[in-house]
Amino acid sequence: MFRHRSHSRISSSSRRIPGDSEFMHWPVPVAGLTALLTEDIYVCVTCVCMLWCLYNPPAGAVVASLEDAKRDVLIALSQIIDPDFGTDIVSCGFIKDLEISETLEEVSFRVELTTPACPVKDMFEEKANEVVAALPWVKKVNVTMSAQPAQPVYAGDLPEGLKKISNIIAVSSCKGGVGKSTVAVNLAYTLAGMGARVGIFDADVFGPSLPNMVSPVNRLLVVNPESKSILPTEYLGVKLVSFGFAGQGRAIMRGPMVSGVINQLLTTTDWGELDYLVIDMPPGTGDIHLTLCQVAPLTAAVIVTTPQKLAFIDVAKGVRMFSKLKVPCVAVVENMCYFDADEKRYYPFGKGSGAQVVQQFGIPNLFDLPIRPTLSSSGDTGIPEVVADPQGDVSKIFQNLGVCVVQQCAKIRQQVSTAVSYDRSIRAIRVKVPDSDEEFFLHPATVRRNDRSAQSVDEWTGEQKVQYGDVPEDIEPEEIRPMGNYAVSITWPDGFSQIAPYDQLDMLERLVDVPLPATAAVASS
């Protein structure tokens, strides 16, 4: 832009920019510009003006084509970063149905979020309107907000009743009487208040709490005579299923009978489309818990405890159980933690149980619930505290818990969906370790040859049925899908469906000196 030249002066205080049809008048007084220049420097005014117009286009500027217009819109929207994923909303795949009018003046698109309960959906809508409207050729912006259809994140054969549920949250504690039901019910109604479709499943057959904590008009479960499925009852838009709504029944049962009842209630209920199903787990770590974890693809768990050391000992057992079952614990709720009086905060049962769980097991979030008569009485009146006093201090704590659960579930779904993928450009299976930057690559044939199912290995003798030469060296997977929190399901060209646990993939021989991968063509989804 600058070059040395003999002394010259620009006498006019304003000049016309060359090419009147394309550029506007230079808005800066030339006298002010020349005052900044030395006598030995000549400014190429045309270049300066062209750059100024490039970054400050005149109102009503037009784009050359529809493709250029769409590119401009996507570039503008890529300025908006999802705080949970740390990626722009265009790369996240949130922008759908982008349309631009024939006059290239009106822009319409849809922002599809992972959940209707997204805590930053209003910010997304506001920013999307703002950045697109800032484009000089745009005169009108139409933004529609939506959410992805409810669907489980995991592959595999699911019971009919669970096929349209996006996230299943277990609220658990091995210790009885710590407030699991209180937390489960208030969390569910908090999520519903955030715009999500929610259900509650009371998994305690011996002492169901849900019938006392909510007040539905219909207090009996009904069976659909055609489909034979159970129709849940509802209260304030939340679907409810509990053994306490099943009418008169035996409360004394042996373990296998209880597991059967739980299985039937959970899997044969017509839940419909749900964004979140909150399961109020019974105390302990017995058959019921294993049944639930095996039947229902749990997305995450919320652990409830109290300040006493005895509660921590029992709660630790529950956390270890979820760890064994590959269910991530996303939050700890320490109930009956404190009360405020005389402008002071008192901790009648001591401090530290919740913090100890967080520190020892690496659970990322801790929430303290106070001792409040209203929170206790809400369990008897049939109106959850977050419904009775939505602006109260307790409701604000549950609001924070709800935001945490929504964000953590979204992260888990994102991690699971991208944990294992296939890159055709380098012919390698890419494995990304969750919550880490570590990743490694495997040869597809190596993965196929190391299948440990009964179809590949004799269960009695351990003899390998599939020999090395039976698997082509150039074999490629057709589809990779997550299966629970512990494995992926890989479909091969011969129709074989392989279940590959993450632990097993970690033990296989890795590829080295792999070139930088391109975008995966076959990915877990």
Q: Looking at residue 21, what is its pLDDT? A: 38
Q: Looking at residue 394, what is its pLDDT? A: 94
- Does one domain contain both 80 and 191? no
399 or 46: which carries more pLDDT confidence? 399
Which of 78-82, 155-159, 282-286, 353-357 is the least confident region?
A: 155-159
Query: Is 201 within the bounds of a domain?
Result: yes
- Does one domain contain both 218 and 323? yes
Query: Is 61 within the bounds of a domain?
Result: no
Instruction: Compute how many other C-beta atoms are within 10 angstroms of the C-beta atom of residue 96.
Output: 12
- Does one domain contain both 274 and 185? yes
Q: Which residue has the tokens 């979140």?
A: 276
The CATH number of the domain holding residue 89 is 3.30.300.130
Query: Is 345 within the bounds of a domain?
Result: no
Sign of CA dihedral 326, 188, 179, 352: positive
Whether the Cβ atoms of residue 172 and residue 180 lie closer than 8 Å to each other: yes
Query: Is 72 within the bounds of a domain?
Result: yes
436 or 128: which carries more pLDDT confidence? 128
**Residues 37-68: pLDDT tens digits?**
444 444 444 444 444 444 455 545 566 688 89
**Residues 172-218: pLDDT tens digits?**
987 778 889 999 999 999 999 999 999 999 998 888 889 999 989 98
In sequence order, the β-bridge partners of residue 238 are 235
- Does one domain contain both 382 and 504? no
231 or 361: which carries more pLDDT confidence? 231
- Does one domain contain both 405 and 322? yes
Whether the Cβ atoms of residue 200 and residue 278 lie closer than 8 Å to each other: yes
- Does one domain contain both 215 and 315? yes
Q: Which residue has the tokens 């832009």?
A: 1
For the ranges 87-91, 105-109, 468-472, the maximum mean pLDDT occurs at: 105-109
Q: What is the dihedral of CA 187, 191, 194, 199, to 10 degrees?
A: -140
**44-50 LR contacts (CB < 8 Å, sep 24+):** 44/1, 44/2, 44/3, 45/10, 45/15, 45/17, 46/17, 46/18, 47/1, 48/1, 49/17, 49/23, 50/23
Given 89, 121, 147, which residue is the final one in a domain? Answer: 147
Helices (H), 134-232: 180-193, 210-213
Query: Is 510 within the bounds of a domain?
Result: yes
The CATH number of the domain holding residue 237 is 3.40.50.300
Q: Which residue has the tokens 């935001």?
A: 403
- Does one domain contain both 408 and 271? yes
What is the side-by-side strand order in the sheet with 497-501?
A: 479-483, 487-491, 497-501
Q: Looking at residue 358, what is its pLDDT? A: 80
**Residues 94-106: pLDDT tens digits?**
999 999 998 888 9
Q: Looking at residue 119, what is its pLDDT? A: 87
Query: Is 115 within the bounds of a domain?
Result: yes
> Which H or E run includes 202?
strand 198-202
- Does one domain contain both 133 and 203? no
**Based on the structure, what is the number of domains in the chain?**
4
Q: Looking at residue 460, what is its pLDDT? A: 76
- Does one domain contain both 175 and 274? yes
Confidence of residue 375 (pLDDT cuts 50, 70, 90): confident
Q: Pick from 405, 429, 432, 439: which is nearest to 416 by CA? A: 432
- Does one domain contain both 299 and 169? yes
Q: Looking at residue 259, what is its pLDDT? A: 79
Q: What's the rounded mean pLDDT across residues 438-460? A: 85
Which of 156-165, 179-188, 432-441, 501-510 is the least confident region?
A: 432-441
In sequence order, the β-bridge partners of residue 172 are 303
234 or 483: which carries more pLDDT confidence? 234
Q: What's the rounded mean pLDDT across residues 132-138? A: 93
Task: Tell me how far CA of residue 254 lies from CA of 204, 251, 270, 287, 288, in angstroms.
Answer: 14, 10, 27, 11, 11
- Does one domain contain both 373 and 258? yes
Q: Which domain holds residue 442?
A: 419-523
Task: Tell me how far CA of residue 245 lies from CA of 203, 223, 253, 289, in angstroms.
Answer: 12, 12, 17, 21
Query: Is 152 within the bounds of a domain?
Result: no
What is the side-by-side strand order in the sheet with 522-523?
A: 439-442, 428-432, 420-423, 522-523
Token readout for 431 is 């494995």
Query: Mean pLDDT over all residues of the chain?
Result: 80
C-alpha span between 231 and 240 (Å, rounded): 9
Q: Looking at residue 249, what is its pLDDT? A: 53
Q: Looking at residue 432, what is its pLDDT? A: 80
**Cβ-Cβ contacts under 8 Å for 339 (sequence gap 6 or more):** 345, 346, 348, 370, 371, 372
For the chain, what percent of residues have pLDDT higher than 90? 34
Q: Is the pLDDT of residue 148 over 70?
A: yes
- Does one domain contain both 407 and 424? no
Q: Pick from 301, 327, 323: which is nearest to 203 by CA? A: 301
Query: Is 231 within the bounds of a domain?
Result: yes
C-alpha span between 194 and 165 (Å, rounded): 17
C-alpha span between 77 and 71 (Å, rounded): 10
Q: Which residue has the tokens 């139409």?
A: 142
